[in-house]
Chain A
Amino acid sequence: MERSLQITVTTRTRASTIAGFAALGLIALGLVLPAFASRSLIQDLFFILTMLTLAQLWNLIAGYGGMVSVGQQAFVGIGAYAMFAGVILWGWDPVPAILLGGVAAFLLAIPMAFFAFRLQGAYFAIGTWVIAEVTRLIIAQWKTLGGGTGTSLPREATSDIIGVATIANLFDLRDAAARDVLAYWLALALAVGTMAAIYALLRSRNGLALTALRDNDNAARSIGVDAGRLKWLVFLAAATMTGIVGALIYMQTARISPDAAFSVTSWTAYVIFIVVIGGIGRLEGPIVGVLVFWGLQTAFADYGSWYLLALGLLAIAVMLFAPRGLWGLIADRTGLALFPVQRRLTVTTKGAENA
């Protein structure tokens, strides 16, 4: 009697199916939310969604790609400035000008990767930081966009953004509130799109190769993973998206300065804390992290630097006692994975009759 083994690869779990439907429900709720939510809730959600997107992107390059960049503020800043340039210098509408932010960040990421990829590990971190500083110092020389003191989006540009009038009519809102709704929807689309793209990448061949590289560089190369190509791909993609998020954040703020747009604290330190506290190297981590971060910020922001001091100490404590973050603690106890990327082999034996 001959028997053949049939091997199937699955990543789906029961929890992930439920999580998938829950996510769809949440997205639908998110879309209709502006119809009944207060303006301050919409603004809070805008903050949460943009920080979540930045955190997922950093998690992709550091947590999965093993590239610990401390220079992501370069892409936020250059993206925001490119959007301002599109609006102020060339008279673009702010919404399509957001895409300029992505283009600018992509163009900056090429030389940045060229330099930084010559550096390993910690050197890489500092190298990216130096390049972000260089970008900030150069942008601060750009006098038509306000130089070192910065500038604002002109009133004419912000008053007739595409879609704002429609939203204002639809929900019976003032223009300013309608602008917040528009920014919120764009942030929702970016957050969902980014997470879907990262999840799709991680479940693909390239994603497997990427995590293999992170876990053991030499072993991955020895079985034919093209390390250089993958790192470029992930770094450029994350940079482009970070630039788009930066442009969106500053479309909503409508006021920019080099120190704010290239702030290592706002766009890299906070993002790193979100990822570390939530759980690095997992898609669920930044979601937990951003909720904790937002909760702490809402509760303690009045305490100013005491709050930041505590945040720094919290990150240290998490690294010491729960290096895989809060989600790591949950997953270790329950085995729960909402966005599973682990491949499990199921072996079924088929008995073949009459040999």
Chain B
Amino acid sequence: MIWLDTIVQGLLLGGLYALFAAGLSLVFGIMRLVNLAHGDMIILAAFIVLVVVEATGLNPFLSALIAAPALFAFGWALQWFVFNRVLGKDILPPLLVTFGLSIALQNGMLEVFSADSQRLRAGALESASVDLGVVTVGIMPLLTFASAVVVIFALNQIFYRTALGRAFRATSDDPVTASLMGINPRSVFAMATGLAMVIVTIAALYLGMRSNFDPSIGPARLIFAFEAVIIGGLGSLWGTLIGGAIIGVAQTVGAQINPEWQILAGHLAFLAVLLVRPRGLFPRAVD
């Protein structure tokens, strides 16, 4: 039973990783921008939710709802004023700009929020669990996984059912032709990054309620998110969820064998998939 339990815990952990990855996947899919600061943005969002919690005394969920528009604006402005200037055929400039941003964010947060570990308190919800017969699972991991499913479902709906989604897909396929049809790729990109920051806020909410966070842990979250995206295959959001689940299960199984192997096992699972399927399990878009 211990192994079944381990695998279920891993699947649910994968939900969190899929949340980390969804924003990254969205931005990469639309504008081929690799945001090396994505992990630090998750931590930044967690701190902002924490600030709202402390200022208003509301619970983390409502606080995240208040923080989300601000983070949308942050993402929109970042894309409009910074990233749009370096997007182009050469992948080096955006990569270096986001790397610089990553270092700047980490150290900025260190100055403002200190290196102390923080946590978003969710009260009784934190320890609540439900008995599913064969295994007992925590409400919080279950809620995280459900949120990941909802976020990915909603993103797919936006992509395939709305005018904004049509603009996303058109710009992703061919920005020049899209702009002939009256779409402004720069503003589409800004909307996409804004939306990605809303997803980042949701990811940060669950990260903060599940475990401690401090300014230094962003890069590791970025790596998990990336592994999920690459395993899933470029352009496939459901693939990203499966990618997250694979990393999650590998980590919990690794930790079950030896607690020091948790992170290592996740990375090795990623490399194994890469060896067999270099373009991921469900590649949709052509890079």
Return chain A residues, CB-CB under 8 Å to B95: 68, 122, 125
| A320 x B97 contact (CB < 8 A) | yes
Contact with B along A161-176 (1 / 0, CB 8 A): 0000000000000000
Name, among A68, A120, A122, the residue most crowded by chain B CB atoms within 10 Å (CB to CB): A122
A137 on the B face (CB < 8 A): yes
Contact with A along B106-118 (1 / 0, CB 8 A): 1110110000000
Given contacts A122-B95, A134-B267, contact A308 B103 (CB under 8 A): yes
Name, among A123, A306, A308, the residue most crowded by chain B CB atoms within 10 Å (CB to CB): A123
| A133 x B274 contact (CB < 8 A) | no
Contact with B along A114-155 (1 / 0, CB 8 A): 010011111101110111011001101100000000000000
Residue of A nearest to B226 (CB): A126
B264 on the A face (CB < 8 A): yes
Return chain B residues, CB-CB under 8 Å to A133: 223, 263, 267
| A131 x B230 contact (CB < 8 A) | no
Return chain B residues, CB-CB under 8 Å to A249: none
Return chain A residues, CB-CB under 8 Å to B107: 305-306, 308-309, 312
Return chain A residues, CB-CB under 8 Å to B101: 312, 316
B275 on the A face (CB < 8 A): yes
Distance between Cα atoms of A311 and B105 in the complex (Å): 11
Return chain A residues, CB-CB under 8 Å to B230: 119, 123, 126
Give residues 86-113 of B contacting A (CB, 8 Å): 86, 91-93, 95-97, 99-108, 110-111
Given contacts A118-B274, A137-B263, A308-B103, contact A272 B96 (CB under 8 A): yes
Name, among B36, B97, B111, the residue most crowded by chain A CB atoms within 10 Å (CB to CB): B97
A120, A129, A141, A314: the one within 8 Å of B260 (CB): A141
B91, B110, B219, B275: the one within 8 Å of A115 (CB): B275
A30 on the B face (CB < 8 A): no
Contact with A along B265-281 (1 / 0, CB 8 A): 00110110011001000
B34 on the A face (CB < 8 A): yes
| A313 x B104 contact (CB < 8 A) | yes
Number of residues on chain B facing chain A (CB within 8 A): 41
| B278 x A118 contact (CB < 8 A) | yes
Return chain B residues, CB-CB under 8 Å to A316: 82, 97, 100-101, 104
Return chain B residues, CB-CB under 8 Å to A308: 103-104, 106-107
| A312 x B268 contact (CB < 8 A) | no
B91, B103, B263: the one within 8 Å of A269 (CB): B103
Given contacts A115-B271, A130-B270, A316-B82, contact A276 B96 (CB under 8 A): yes
Return chain B residues, CB-CB under 8 Å to A127: 274
| B104 x A122 contact (CB < 8 A) | no
Distance between Cα atoms of A320 and B101 in the complex (Å): 12
Closest-CB distance, B283 to chain A (whole angstroms): 12
Return chain B residues, CB-CB under 8 Å to A319: 86, 93, 96-97, 100
Give residues 311-337 of A contacting B (CB, 8 Å): 311-316, 319-320, 323
| B227 x A264 contact (CB < 8 A) | no
B131 on the A face (CB < 8 A): no
A253 on the B face (CB < 8 A): no
A265 on the B face (CB < 8 A): yes
A62 on the B face (CB < 8 A): yes
| B85 x A320 contact (CB < 8 A) | yes
A104 on the B face (CB < 8 A): no
Given contacts A125-B34, A127-B274, A319-B86, contact A134 B100 (CB under 8 A): no
Return chain A residues, CB-CB under 8 Å to B219: 264
A121, A273, A309: the one within 8 Å of B108 (CB): A309
| A315 x B271 contact (CB < 8 A) | no
Distance between Cα atoms of A264 and B216 in the complex (Å): 12
Given contacts A70-B99, A121-B91, A137-B264, contact A320 B86 (CB under 8 A): yes
Closest-CB distance, A16 to chain B (whole angstroms): 26
A287 on the B face (CB < 8 A): no
Return chain B residues, CB-CB under 8 Å to A122: 28, 32, 34, 91, 95
Distance between Cα atoms of A269 and B40 in the complex (Å): 15
Name, among A68, A126, A140, A265, the residue most crowded by chain B CB atoms within 10 Å (CB to CB): A126
Distance between Cα atoms of A125 and B33 in the complex (Å): 13
| A130 x B103 contact (CB < 8 A) | no
Distance between Cα atoms of A303 and B277 in the complex (Å): 46
A280 on the B face (CB < 8 A): yes
Return chain A residues, CB-CB under 8 Å to B287: 120-121, 123
Closest-CB distance, B209 to chain A (whole angstroms): 26
| B100 x A138 contact (CB < 8 A) | no
Return chain A residues, CB-CB under 8 Å to B103: 265, 269, 273, 308-309, 311-312, 315
Return chain A residues, CB-CB under 8 Å to B32: 122
A-B contacts, 30 listed (Cβ < 8 Å): A68-B92, A115-B274, A118-B274, A121-B34, A122-B34, A126-B230, A127-B274, A133-B263, A134-B267, A134-B268, A134-B271, A141-B260, A264-B219, A280-B92, A305-B110, A309-B103, A309-B104, A309-B111, A312-B101, A312-B104, A312-B107, A313-B100, A314-B100, A315-B99, A316-B82, A316-B97, A316-B100, A319-B86, A319-B97, A323-B86
Chain A residues with CB under 8 Å of chain B are 62, 68, 70, 115, 118-123, 125-127, 129-131, 133-134, 137-138, 140-141, 264-265, 269, 272-273, 276, 280, 305-306, 308-309, 311-316, 319-320, 323
Extra inter-chain contacts (7) besides given A115-B271, A130-B267, A133-B223, CB under 8 Å = A121-B287, A123-B287, A134-B264, A134-B271, A137-B263, A273-B103, A313-B100
Nearest 4 interchain pairs by C-beta: A312-B104, A122-B34, A315-B100, A312-B103
